Structure 1
Amino acid sequence: MKTEVRGSTTSISLQNPTTIFNTSQGPSLTGALKGCLGSLDGACIEKLLLHCASALESNDVTLAQQVMWVLNNVASSVGDPNQRLTSWILRALISRASKVCPTPMNFNGSTSSSTIPTRLMSVTELAGYVDLIPWHRFGYCASNSAIFKAIQGCPKVHILDFSITHCMQWPTLIDALAKRPEGPPLLRVTVPNWRPQVPPLLNVSSEEVGLRLGNFSRFRDVPFEFNVIENSSSLELLLSTQLNPSPLDLRDDEVLVVNCQNWLRYLSDDPRGGSPSHQDGSMRNTFLNMIRSLNPRIIVVVDEDSDLSAPSLSSRITTCFNYMWIPFDSLETFLPKDSAQRMDYESDVGHKIENIIGFEGHQRIERLETGVAMSQRIRNVGFLSAPFCEETVKEVKGLLDEHASGWGMKREEDMLVLTWKGHNSVFATAWVANGPNPNGLLMED
């Protein structure tokens, strides 16, 4: 638990617990509040959240409402990081409770709506969003450096890009390729039509993004092609018919690179809920097996380093409270409490929180697994880890120097991990196919 670095304490005025809560509910809730009245730190807030989760899991809506009343006295969308995070978790809990409660619940402006509105960004706004904290840039920097090294001397490169940030990664790589001593390669980037409907959302199409990348590439004298995988408007269609050499227009004279940025979490990891066409019923493993069959020179996988896939609501709330705190705390270091940019970013984090806590089954699409678990999954389908070289490490450290001092980086096994105040936030990994590799890639120094 991160209470040692979550020093903010929220002072509130509460009635005596026996007047707030029906004593017939038993002593557990009173015990949860004992020692917390007057000031609620992260540990006390977490305890209340778990009591609310327990009540919801046992369908005790009355008790859940009572705990929410206390949490509502703590939560604030313009308060300290704990208060702001609590306000979004409370909103998700209200949404979840409203699905089983006939009477809509509303606390202090919170809503029982099951959908948090998401905004459409311009390309310029998206660039500012990505630059705000190194949450995405860390993965871009590590991946681009590994890709650049892997394709040295190659005249033609095809990148199969699975990402939620609309190709924002590629201008930096294009700029680096333009300066390559042997000259830039012919670069092709292919993206799928299908994309999970999660923030950030863009107000232009994938085709328009490709045109902008093409214009930038011409300015940098890098030969460039951009393709959208047609008829991939659903995940099932993408996995069943599109991830093979013919629709992808793979060419023998090109080196293939596969890029996965915050993508794999949206592929179901549930073997019981998958299609019979999937080898083990898991979309996640099916996707990785298909990528392995394409024999890429390198695959880079970047995602958030947390386990948010547990079936237990209580487990997800505990992990969510101690992990999603990171962006709220990091934004606190340089943006005022009423900053519109800060609130917009936190709203996107809130979108994740609502899905993690408010939904179950196929509707819960935020199913993160840790970097260690993901690495083992990738090994199991036939990839070998390609450790990042020291040059990549230097580049990532240089990037982090541009941000607040709380950001850091460490190595765990063959991963690079972005940290905030010592706590893991994002992992980056690189992989090559296990077995004969005609490209002969060697990633080590």
Structure 2
Amino acid sequence: MQQVQQYYTPCHASDNSNFNDCSNSGTEVSLKTQNDKFFTMDSFPATDCAIYDADPSVSVSSNRSPFSPQCSQSNMFEQRRSYENTSGSPVSLCSGVDDSNGKKHELRELNNNLLRPESDSNDSCSCSLNGVVSKHFSLTRQNQVLDVASRLDLKELLVACAEAVDEADTSTAEVLMNVLEKRVSVSGEPMQRLSAYMLEGLRARLLSSGSNIYKKLKCNEPTSSELLSYMQVLYHITPYFKFAYMSANVVISEAMKNENRIHIIDFQIAQGSQWMFLIHYLARRPGGPPFLRITGVDDSQSAHARGGGLQLVGERLASIAKSSGVPFEFHNAALSGCMVKLENLRVRHGESLAVNFPYMLHHMPDESVSTMNHRDRLLRLVKSLSPKIVALVEQEMNTNTAPFLPRFRETLDYHKAMFESVDVTRPRNDMQRIRSEEHCIARDVVNLIACEGADRVERHEVFGKWRSRLLMAGFTPCPLSPSVAETIKVMLKEYSSNFRLAKSQGALYIGWNNRALATSSAWQLPHSLPLGS
């Protein structure tokens, strides 16, 4: 346990109160401690997929969810539709909508009937009565749609509305949106809250104003201090950011345990709080701390949340390093990942290089968006730097090249689990939680639903696809040591027992109940040694 705790330094252990996103900053966050033993502490089972809160003898095939080892009639898992090359992704998800009652089929059939020309619906009407017939037909159609909609739950209603939007059936979509408007609430149950934001995305898409709506949302951001406080709330009440920071820190610290000069390139440095923990760890290294240099790549959203440029991050990290006795240098690379070139990274001879991709690569457009293909270009650029280790953390979603309806269902299924995981931490009328969801999650939901082409910046891929990209770029998977999972287990004891941890195909998965939400993996060049060797 002592080995695990050295990677997990709670925020209150820091003596640097100026480090904004790891301090309370006036935001009271109350976390429920999980007293019961959440995970089995056995070593990893010798199976393709290890489930840490289940019987370690259970083996899971590579095309099933690592959180659901068996399929039953009441909870049948289907293989994920392959709109992209998932390359053996281990995660397969439940169908987003239960079709067993036939309600969705009934509405689709109703739409098909009502889309026929008016002359087909009433051949006996004379031309002089066309206006009356048209009005009567419109009212009949509306009543029929309302009748079916009254028997649909929120999830079914959202999917039915998305189908109408996809078919450009404006009249049906508007009727369903009016029904949805009365049933959603940003302070209601998780599905009600998510539906409120998905409804806005559908409205924007129907009006062909998705890009404008998304840009308006970005322009109407709260002040820097407000946005930072909302991000802090999510940081504390959910484990997703800590999962990324801690797993990557263990991977990097183990790879660099014998190095005296370390250079870390962080392609999404944000507030830089991840490296505060690593600096404290390096300060305790036997024989003295190494020299540490960090290159931070920035974007405008992070700069807005900080209330200033990357120099703020550099100053804070330098202060922590000085007080900890760690020789330190910070390099400011204030540009987006699409603009990064070799000369921006200032790689020096004699420094051992680590690269960090925390929830960042899915924002890089690939070959389906632009011939520049910045997603693969960036991976090839990193490979040319000969890094000793690359840490990759990404959301487990399949939205990159999926058509609208499959993407809508995936967005619905994924964020339903996320909203449920947030729901257990704060009261539903808590304004900080409401604002955090509105400004930190809803914008991504709207972008996924309403935008297309270059305007759609949320382009997630499942781990199998990331694995293929990294292999094609010249990397090889680096097996994660047991310390990575042990560190996350300790952290997850602060949260609900509904959070799950699993290992499959060399990656560590975190999920809510049966839904995988994020993965962490490590990569190296073929000539590198495995972690811990």
Q: Normalising by the residue count of structure 2, what TM-score does the alignment of the two structures yield?
A: 0.69
SS of the residue corresponding to residue 531 of structure 2 reads: coil
Asked if 1:318 is matched to 2:412, the reply is no
Asked if 1:59 is matched to 2:168, the reply is yes
The aligned residue for residue 397 of structure 2 is 306
Q: Which has the larger radius of gyration?
A: 2
Identify which of 234, 250, 254 aligns with 2:347: 250
Change (3 A) 1:324 1:165: farther
The aligned residue for residue 511 of structure 2 is 419
Q: Could you list the runs of 5+ residues in structure 1 that have no partner in the other structure? A: 6-16, 102-110, 276-281
The aligned residue for residue 201 of structure 1 is 305
Retained in 2: the 8 A contact 1:307–1:369? yes
Identify which of 190, 204, 221 aligns with 1:118: 221
User: Following superposition of structure 1 onto structure 2, how do residues 44-83 of structure 1 map, counting pairs within 5 Å?
Assistant: 45-83=154-192
SS of the residue corresponding to residue 331 of structure 2 reads: strand
Asked if 1:377 is matched to 2:480, the reply is no
User: Following superposition of structure 1 onto structure 2, how do residues 311-390 of structure 1 map, counting pairs within 5 Å?
Assistant: 311-347=402-438, 348-390=440-482
Higher relative contact order (CA 8 A, sep 6+): 2
Distance 2:207 2:280 in 1: 50
- CA positional deviation for 1:35: 3.8
Retained in 2: the 8 A contact 1:32–1:48? no
Change (3 A) 1:112 1:399: closer
- CA positional deviation for 1:131: 2.0
Distance 1:100 1:293 in 2: 41
Distance 2:432 2:261 in 1: 40
- CA positional deviation for 1:197: 3.6
Show CA shifts across 1:139-192 (max 9, x none): 111110010100012111000001163322111111111111132111111012
Change (3 A) 1:202 1:325: farther
Identify which of 223, 247, 255 aligns with 1:150: 255
Show CA shifts across 1:273-295 (max 9, x none): 223xxxxxx21111101111111
Change (3 A) 1:4 1:144: farther
- CA positional deviation for 1:82: 0.6
The aligned residue for residue 138 of structure 1 is 243
Retained in 2: the 8 A contact 1:408–1:421? yes
Distance 2:215 2:338 in 1: 28
Asked if 1:268 is matched to 2:356, the reply is no
Distance 2:415 2:137 in 1: 29
Show CA shifts across 1:386-431 (max 9, x none): 1111112111100111222211210011000111113101100100
Distance 1:73 1:387 in 2: 50
Distance 2:143 2:474 in 1: 53
Structure holding more strand per residue: 1
Asked if 1:404 is matched to 2:507, the reply is no
- CA positional deviation for 1:80: 0.4
Distance 1:71 1:176 in 2: 51
Show CA shifts across 1:224-251 (max 9, x none): 111112xx6355432xxx2x2x442212
Letter in 2 for 1:33: A
Change (3 A) 1:321 1:271: closer
- CA positional deviation for 1:4: 11
The aligned residue for residue 213 of structure 1 is 317
Distance 1:67 1:379 in 2: 45
- CA positional deviation for 1:375: 1.4
Change (3 A) 1:393 1:53: same
- CA positional deviation for 1:309: 1.7
Distance 1:174 1:51 in 2: 51
Show CA shifts across 1:10-39 (max 9, x none): xxxxxxx99998444797x56853743xxx
Distance 1:201 1:289 in 2: 30
Retained in 1: the 8 A contact 2:233–2:432? no
Change (3 A) 1:197 1:419: same
- CA positional deviation for 1:315: 1.1
Distance 1:63 1:375 in 2: 41
The aligned residue for residue 339 of structure 2 is 237
Distance 2:209 2:424 in 1: 39
Asked if 1:192 is matched to 2:289, the reply is no
Count of matched residue pairs: 400
Retained in 2: the 8 A contact 1:32–1:47? no
Change (3 A) 1:424 1:173: same
Change (3 A) 1:198 1:69: farther
Q: Which moved more, 1:197-206 or 1:260-269?
A: 197-206
Retained in 2: the 8 A contact 1:387–1:444? no
Change (3 A) 1:398 1:100: closer
